[in-house]
Chains A and B, each alone.
Chain A
Amino acid sequence: MSITFLNRYLAKVTAKVSLRTVLIVPVVLPIFVVVGLVGYFSWKNGEKAVNKLVNQLMEEVSDRIQERLNSYLATPDQINKLNKHALDLGQIDIKDLSSMERHFWQQYQVYNWVSQIQFATSDGEFVALAVGEDDTLTYQVREFTKELRIYGIDKEGNRDQMLKSVENFDPRELPWYTHAVKAKGQPVWTKIYPKMKSPTLAITLAQAYYDGGGNLQGVLAVDLTLARISEFLSSLPIAKQGKTFILENTGNLVSSSSTKALFKLTGNQAKPIAAVDFEDPLIKASVEYLQAQFGNLKEIDNTKDLKFKLDGQEQFLQVLPLRNVRGINWLIVVVVPTQDFRGEITQNTRTTVLIYIIALVIAVAIGIVNASWVVQPILRLNASAKNLAKGEWEQRVKVEGAAELGELAKSFNTMAGELQTTVAALEKTNVELEDKVWERTASLTAVEEEMVAVFGAMTDIILIIEVQDQAIENVEVAPTNPSSMYQDYSELIRETIQSFYRYETALIWSKQVWETLETGNRVDFEYDLCVGYDRFWFTASITPISDKSAIWVARDISERKQTEEALRAAEENYRSIFVNAAEGIFQSTPEGVYLSANPALARMYGYSSPEELIYNLKSTELYVNPKRRQDFVTAIKQYGTISNFESQVYRADGQIIWISENVHLVHDEEAQLLYYEGTVENITARKKAESALQQKNQDLANTLRQLRETQEGLIQSEKMAALGQLIAGVAHEVNTPLGAIRSSVNNIADFLEEYLEILPEFFQELSPQCHQYFFALLQQQTKQETALSTREKRKLIRSLKGQLGEVGIEEADYIASTLINIGVYNVAPFLPLLTQEEKSEKILNMAYQLATLRSSTKTIATAADRAAKVVFALKTYGRYDHSGEKTKASIIEGIETVLTIYHNQLKQGIELVKKYGNIPTILCYPDELNQVWTNLVHNAVQAMDNQGELIIDVHRSNSWIEVKVTDSGTGIPLDIKNKIFQPFFTTKPPGEGSGLGLDIVKKIIDKHDGKIEVESVPGKTTFTVLLPIES
């Protein structure tokens, strides 16, 4: 069951897949799988081998380190023990430190990796052999004094010159000393500490030395520098990027194979560095990993092999604790990136993949070649079979390929040959049959065509009627071509008589048939017939063929009948038009005799009938103006026709009417004039309407002119109204200086009258001293140039009055104001005059009079200027250029003129700000623009209710001059903003403004091809006028 199913499934799949694929896939697939598996296993094995290798290597390395460290760390202990023995044996003497020097020197020759060998007595004496940074050896000694002396060493190990000394050195304060004393004779390691005066870390093993009585004699100590351990670590052969390092279980680095510094430098002091702060990323990451893994490094108590990832790379890590009873708790760490060992594996893997691909390609290629060798002949066979099916009988297949396929091809070819023969025989028989049928059909068609041609040439309907037993038995219709009547005559052929003759008409026709048959004579008649919705006319003749049959030939005469009908109708129509037309229609001879006239013409001319008209009227007598007839005849002779010939004519009752004639000449065939023919229209009503219309037009034109005049007048009156509003202010502006002038003139005249004559006498009376005072007084006035305000003047008078009061002068305030008027502000020089001179009053008065004389003349000059300015402004404002042409003018001058006229109104509480840019003069109508500025300034002043700020800004903006008039008034409400430029729009009470102001402004600006815009918010309304510079 399942096999059947599998087969079916395979058949289903292979039906869709090409033969080529079926042949190739089974070959390639196993190769693909086998090579893949081999590659995978070889890679896996490589991996395993590497892991093993790495572990071995690391173990070896860490063992070596451990071994080396143990021996390294053992050295100080050995040296200390040797020295202890030497002390015990008296080879070296505590009392003779210099003996120790050479002893230490000799020891260093053996253990040259230690950095210091030293001994400190319990009295604080000290001797040491120290190895410097550059391996120079020194003795460091403290004896007798508290200073540490440092000596060079010669080749024999003898003390050389003193190099240096350090004050206040006490070895007993050093950590290794105190540690050792605490340990009571046990050797003890210090913590790792920075070495004095050199940037390296060191560690010291110290051991207290007791004499036989158990008394502390001193401490022996040996220093090791960690730099030496690092040198050793970096000398170890380990993979390219691998690192080894040693750290304390506190986390501080002891040593590493990295070249990075192991300590932090603070000034000259080195401090151990925590491994997690170390610069080398691998070491840092390793320690972080360990801390993460174990929490506390102290937890690590045996060798551990670990793996972790750094930047995606796998790292092998081995950690090994180093313990020493003397207080050393270190961890040896070896870390190696697996990448270092994987190199070769990766290479191997690549090679495997390459081989894999090559094998695959070869396998596929072989598969394709193989498949095509099998498939090609089958494909060819398939193509041939397809062609054969299409009828290409010549198809043969080339016999080649495998034996089975060759057989198949041969069978195919044989089959194709047989098929070809059979088909050829069938085709031949078929052709013969077709030929016979063709001949037969041709002969039949010839006969039929003749008949059809005969009948087809006829347009008549031909019926053959047979009668039997007093009844029309059969009607046969010949296939003629009565095109107009039936769409498809064939439907009538072989109709029975009952269906052909319908209704009662059938009775009439059958009578005709009977008559023909009875008389044996031909009968002709006409009849009409409805077919569908159309009506047809026929003329028919029935001719007997035998005593029982007749032939009926009918011809369609509908067209002729219709034409006749149409003609009759048309004639009727024309008649009706002639009789019923609203226009008069006539025919008349050139002599004026009417040949015909229609009722309308008779009515028009006032006759009861056309006949009456024809009888009574000659067209020569018709016209009110006889010359019109003459014109008529001349025109019609010249042009042959005349239209819209309008004249006044008399009616029969003598009434005059207007007519319009359209007339043409009618000639006979020989071009002989027969008569005039034409139509007449009564246009009296139209004429009346026309003249009324003309009158209306005239009236309208007059009204328009009046309106224009009114508008001109309104514009002028608006101008005058604005002027009128100004007159009030202007009157004040002019009258004020005039008043001052008049008063001053009066004053001067008075002076001349009163004082001129007495002046010489006055001078004669004066003492020389008084002369001096007098002229000094006069000179005071000339000094005072600026006019004082009343406040200033009052202040001066007050102060002067005080001064005068102090010296006891009576009427101090009067004299003070006199003095101020003279121009004396400092009274001191004149106090003697005022207090001592009898004539002081007279002198003062004369000086005052002269001073008023001077101030009067000044007043006159100033006032006259003022008045002249106002008058000039008025003159400029009122100027009217009648030429109607633009003139070059300065916009700013125009604005200034208006501002001068408004000066009086503006000075009452309006702060005027002028911002004038540099602008060119432009072609304009200056007086009209003045009206614009007047309106804008006037509106602004009113909008502000005479209080606020008025800004006039004039500047150039590209090819425009921009004038902005801004006021700080209440602003224009939004709902009327669009109306302000409309004529007669005003917000002012009746009588104060016509409402034409801004309309006129707009018109004037338009006339200049300019623009005006308004922006308004409460507190700031700006009218902007733009005028083109080039117009």
Chain B
Amino acid sequence: MCKSVILCVDDEVLVLNSLEIELRKAFGNDYGYEFAESGDEALEIIAEIEEDGHQVILIVSDWLMPRMKGDEFLKLVHINHPNMVKILLTGQASEEAIEDAKQQVNLYACMRKPWDTSELIDVIKSALNK
């Protein structure tokens, strides 16, 4: 059985924990959820999930992260997964980088921290239903 997975990337475990609670509450067992603390880890997870025969359908990524920034990470993902839904969730990002990401990786949305839970869930829902 192929399962759709939502992947969250943030260098703060606090944020990941919060996202997990929110996603589980909103979507329960409808999707699988994976969490990564860096772009590198996220890329590994994507590879693993695909090996297991599942697929990542949506990524929620922070922008300001050590080593690999969110937009760079999404660019890398975009090369092989142009149809994956990509959402930035960031406390701070340069406007340039966001504009850049929107164009280059087909960014679905850019959310600001602190985020509103229902708003985030709505964005994700709308992205998945389209």
Contact = CB atoms under 8 A, between A and B. Distances in A.
Given A728-B94, A731-B91, A907-B66, A736 B17 contact: no
22 contacts: A728-B92, A731-B92, A732-B90, A734-B91, A735-B112, A736-B15, A736-B113, A737-B14, A739-B89, A739-B91, A743-B114, A746-B22, A747-B21, A747-B117, A788-B13, A794-B35, A814-B32, A818-B24, A821-B20, A862-B14, A907-B11, A909-B66
Nearest to B118: A746
A908 interface: yes
Contacts of A794: 34-35, 45
Given A736-B12, A736-B113, A739-B113, A813 B32 contact: yes
A846 B45 CA distance: 29
B35 A729 contact: no
B7 to A, nearest CB: 11
B25 interface: yes
A789 B11 CA distance: 10
Contacts of A907: 11, 66
Interface in A803-825: 811, 813-814, 817-818, 821
Given A790-B41, A794-B45, 16 more contacts: A732-B64, A732-B113, A735-B90, A735-B112, A736-B15, A738-B91, A739-B18, A739-B89, A739-B113, A740-B15, A790-B16, A791-B37, A817-B33, A818-B24, A908-B65, A909-B67
Given A740-B18, A790-B36, A909-B66, A729 B13 contact: no
Interface in B1-46: 3, 11-22, 24-25, 28-29, 32-37, 41, 45
A732 B91 contact: yes
Interface in B48-91: 64-67, 89-91
A340 to B, nearest CB: 102
B114 A735 contact: yes
Nearest to A863: B14
Interface of B: 3, 11-22, 24-25, 28-29, 32-37, 41, 45, 64-67, 89-92, 94, 112-117
A630 to B, nearest CB: 80
A787 interface: yes
Interface in A232-280: none
B92 A742 contact: no
Nearest to A742: B114
B110 to A, nearest CB: 13
B113 A738 contact: yes
A744 B18 contact: yes
Contacts of A736: 12, 14-15, 91, 113
A855 B17 contact: yes
Contacts, number: 109
A793 B16 CA distance: 12
B18 A908 contact: no
A814 B90 contact: no
Nearest to B15: A740
Contacts of A908: 64-67
Which 10 pairs, one residue from A and one from B, show the smallest C-beta to C-beta distance? A735-B91, A739-B113, A743-B18, A732-B92, A738-B114, A732-B91, A739-B114, A735-B113, A908-B66, A731-B92
A860 to B, nearest CB: 9
Interface residues of A, number: 43
A1001 B101 CA distance: 38
A440 B13 CA distance: 145
A862 B17 CA distance: 12
B22 A747 contact: yes
Nearest to A790: B35
A219 to B, nearest CB: 107
A856 B65 CA distance: 23
* Chain B CB within 10 Å, residue with most, of A731, A750, A821, A856: A731
Interface in A97-154: none
B95 to A, nearest CB: 11
Given A747-B21, A747-B22, A790 B13 contact: yes
A740 B14 contact: yes
Interface string A718-762: 000000000011011111111111111011001000000000000
Contacts of B21: 743-744, 747, 852, 855-856
A821 B34 CA distance: 13
Contacts of A743: 15, 18-19, 21-22, 114-115, 117
A731 B92 CA distance: 6
